[in-house]
Amino acid sequence: MANIYYSGTSCTDSSPIEIISVEGLLTGKTYQDLNLNCVSLTYSASTSGETNTIFLYGPFDDCSECNSPLSAGTEYNVCIIDCSGDTVSIIPPHPTWTNEQGKAVVLLDAIVLGGINGLNN
């Protein structure tokens, strides 16, 4: 199978990037590489040759979607009554893990016990 060469722009610093893939990717979309870097593809040219293949995840619509974590569940906020008697809504820390593609997944309907540093902090 022939490799397909793509030109793109890094979402981090807007530098030009060359990408090699064995699968057809969509130009105008943004993808994430194995190092979790997001790249917006601008051009492709089919060619043959033996080179290393870089696999990418996506497609995403833009750089912000590529860089943002995935979420699961309906967000749960906590309402408390402060010292003045007013009700205040706070957003507690939610558990986060990394999926098989290296993308952060936030469980919005759960609360991390003890805050972001764990139970005993």
DSSP string over 72-120? ES----EEEE-TTS-EEEE-----EEE-TTS-EEEETTS--TTSTT-TT
**CB burial of residue 44 (10 Å; 0-12, 13-18, 19+):** middle
pLDDT per residue of the chain (121 residues) written in tens, 0 to 9: 667 788 888 888 988 887 777 677 888 898 887 677 888 888 777 665 554 556 667 888 998 888 777 777 777 778 888 888 888 888 788 888 887 767 778 888 888 877 556 565 5
- Residue 114, in any domain of the structure: no
pLDDT tens across 75-101, in order? 777 888 888 888 888 878 888 888 776
- Residue 79, in any domain of the structure: yes
Question: Beta strands 16-21 and 4-10: pairing type?
Answer: antiparallel
Tokens, residue 117: 């540093």
Tokens, residue 14: 């807007």
Same domain? 15 vs 56: yes
Q: Which of 47, 41, 49, 52 is nearest to 18 (CA)?
A: 41
Q: How many domains does the chain have?
A: 2
